[in-house]
Amino acid sequence: MKKVVSTSSAPGAIGPYSQAIEANGMLFISGQVPLDPATGKLVQGGITEQTEQVMKNIGAILKAAGYDFQHVVKSTCLLSDMADFAAMNAVYGKFYQAEPPARAAFAVKGLPLGALIEIETIAVK
């Protein structure tokens, strides 16, 4: 059985999808872009600021579902430019200092709202 997870501490979905779905002890978090949940707007700044906001949004959804970053087993990072990889990695690494999850990172042609980064996440209890 699946359960929809939603929190006002992270941006609402900008399309026909849920922030996250929990099923059988697994949490599937939809790709998060760097929207400030208070304003609904893309955060100002470059890849560092945008990655920080994405990770905060993921953290809020994890918390709403009763998980935390230690439960994350897989992330997929989508970047608008692979030249931003090192800066993204520096911020991302602060959230996974021990036993980081499996991860893939890809450059894509474009992201919603002109974002520089989007990250989707899977966590397991």
pLDDT tens-digit profile, the chain (125 residues): 899 999 999 999 878 999 999 999 999 999 999 999 999 999 999 999 999 999 999 999 999 999 999 999 999 999 999 999 999 999 999 999 999 999 999 999 999 999 999 999 999 99
Predicted confidence at residue 37, as pLDDT, reads: 96
Predicted confidence at residue 13, as pLDDT, reads: 85
3-state class (DSSP) for residue 27? strand
Predicted confidence at residue 1, as pLDDT, reads: 85
Residue type, 114: G
Please state the domain extents for the chain.
Answer: 2-124
Mention the CATH class of domain 2-124.
alpha beta
Burial class (CB in 10 A: 0-12, 13-18, 19+), 123: buried
Residue type, 26: M
DSSP annotation of 7 reads -
**C-alpha distances in angstroms, 77 versus 25, 41, 63?**
23, 20, 20
